[in-house]
Amino acid sequence: MDDIKVDLELDLKGLLCPLPMVRVSQNISKVPVGGVIRATATDPGSLADIPSWARSTGNEIIKQEQEGSNLIYYIKRIK
């Protein structure tokens, strides 16, 4: 898990909901199927928004972590 290959970094720090989720949605097609976006947000609203977006669009959060106020999501494109 620690050496996840990241295909695209998204800096979503400072963006308020729904923009973190919107940016993830806009960028998911930029990675290949099976590829991973690492998105770093600071809005606590993203804690529900990004995982529920992933579930309802059939994508997957393979790892989620917090570093200080940074909320980091590893989002795998499934389809």
- Nearest Cα neighbor of 26 from 12, 45, 14 is 12
Alpha-carbon distances of 9 from 12, 31, 40, 45, 67, rounded to whole Å: 10, 10, 8, 20, 16
Is residue 39 within the footprint of another protein (CB under 8 A)?
no
Is residue 19 within the footprint of another protein (CB under 8 A)?
yes
Asked if 17 is an active-site residue, the reply is: yes
Closer Cβ to another protein, 7 or 57, answer by number: 57
Is residue 70 within the footprint of another protein (CB under 8 A)?
no
Alpha-carbon distances of 62 from 2, 30, 39, rounded to whole Å: 11, 18, 12
We find the least distance from the C-beta atom of residue 5 to another protein, in angstroms, to be 25
The count of chain residues that interact with another protein, using the rule CB under 8 A, is: 24
Indicate which residues carry an active-site annotation: 17
